[in-house]
A and B are shown apart, each in its own frame.
Chain A
């Protein structure tokens, strides 16, 4: 019976302390009853292999002990869909911040490796984001401060219906893609060959040095914009993706605005010796500066709105999933 005792000892180790002795006593009786019955039927004692076979049927000690524990989870089923969506949004946002920081550093002329540093640190940032989001949700679950998803659910706040004709929507997106590519090429080429943008006005003014510094950001903006539209063509009903696209583009736009606002001169006079054109460019820069400030404020509001919409959309989906389950 040494084998049975060893098995029960291993089970006992993983049992809830308060019930340990009681459970083991009952299990021992059950195992011994089975052995006695088998031995009576065979007319002999069970061999060690037969005992092993019997214990194997009971399952591993840890598995058997686990059946006595309460079902445990860090985040419950009601909270989990919301947790999952918030976690994904937070991880995505963290990536955008890190990528934005890398782009900003590259645009500011930092060495390539140094510029990559924020992006390379993303795994540790993601781990930290994962930890904090999980801790917050686990605490909400533990202290019973659950969001009353079912009570707050309001049919009037459900996401709008997707257009019924995806072909029309896809056609619009293809047209948009073509325009984006043409505009993107024109803009990126125009930053180098400024006549393409200013036309005859190039005799009066041209881009200041800041535009060349942030050229990589424009390349990223054009590529990301085209990429999002291409994804939308493939998945026209992916509403969440549209919100993500708007959010990413607004965030990249904010990076551009940051550099332009902080630049001493957005435009410079083509002929520095011409006083009149210098005065004109100064006025233009002043007006542009105010415009950029307003654009930055609008952009921040848009980012906030899109982020809220994305989270609201996620909550709406989570609520439906929760109510539907």
Chain B
């Protein structure tokens, strides 16, 4: 059981900082998703943890052991850090079983075979040991990669956007399998991804990274419900940010008056998730607008409306099919609390 502490991690390429004093704590046995846009430094961080890159400054501790620090750089093979790469990175010249057994050194042949079988069983691929990697589907390859990483009982498992190459139908299943396998072994794991759905649905904790620093970390619910700023809010999910005038815990907006937490006063903006907005009969609603566009997703639909006083079209996530058509009038109401934002932040959320 190992926890991971990263503090003040710095790395630049040709003078451009990529990691700018990044801090991250991962409690033992937990799966943390590091979520950020491309180029935010998350992959660099992962490669430094694994030992493939040297940090310019900062410290990485694994289970209380410093693996990166001033004058310290433990070689990758001595860290006990497993890695699952984007496309599995299975050795094409080795069978599935030999891939999984690759990291098992210092064991007898029988022990190695047993551990390999155990791992393949864990990822649901028992009996596939003699196949060659190219004979497996993408999802199976990914699960073998996980089995290979877990086999030597690493202190930490790093997952580098491991579901990217899978098609969306497979993705959810593989994700769940990986999560279960990780939990079953009790491994501490870091999942790097730019996909917010993946981060929120798979991880125990989410750390949102921007410009080489952790902007916010917490449980998926915290990050989604209480983003520290509009950028985080917009990155972890769709957001509707509306100008508002706040007084006594209520904000007056173009979709009506919304209860907000905290006691701000005066002009500002309010953040709502599209699923907090509901379409209602325009006759009965206090606020209504013209339907601009409808995207049907099956389980729900996203309807954009032109509302008076709104800086742009407002998106409403409506469960199931909708009856209105573009050009028609629809009413809107708000469910639950809004999140109060300072006025100046409203701009970059919409930018």
A, B assembled together: no
B residues in contact (CB < 8 Å) with A: none
